[in-house]
Amino acid sequence: MASTVIGANITIEGELVTDEDVVVQGTLRGKLSAKDGLVVEHGGVVEADVNAGPTQIAGAVTGNIHSTDRVDLQNGAKVVGNVKATRITIADGAQFKGNVDMDV
């Protein structure tokens, strides 16, 4: 289990910083920094600039994503913002609007 979980019925307005991994099932607005990995599950909403390790997104993200590792946009993902990562995958069924920068 992830060390930090934002549950389905919770809203955080502000800043979340952690060296561990984060799972978002609810809503986060503000700023998100998760060095050890980020999972935005289906139904999860992130309206924030994201700094993370390996990132999997199946929910909605509005904001720039900066990953030190890889970013996977899974089926059902809805991403608006620029993505900067070493590796990026966009699955069939993922919605994405933004720049891709793989030059790290």
Partner 1 sequence: MVDHSVIGPAAFVRGRLTGTSSLEVHGRLEGDIDLSGDVSIQSSGLVAANVAGRRIVVRGAVKGDLTATEAIEMETGARVVGDVRAPRISIAPGALVRGFVTTGPREDASSKKTSRVAASAPAPTFAAAHRPAAGSTSTAAPAAPPRSTPARAPEASTPAKARASMSGSRVPPLPVVPTRKKGAKAVQKKR
Comparing CB distances to partner 1, the nearer of 41 and 83 is 41
* Contact residues for partner 1, defined by CB under 8 A: 1-20, 22, 26, 30
The secondary structure of residue 99, as a DSSP letter, is: -
Question: From the CB of 30, what's the least distance to partner 1, in Å?
Answer: 6
Minimum gap (Å) between residue 36 Cβ and partner 1: 9
When the beta carbons of 5 and 80 are compared against partner 1, the nearer one is 5
Q: What is 43-85 written as a DSSP string?
A: T-EEEEEEEESSEEESSEEES-EEESSEEEE-TT-EEES-EE-
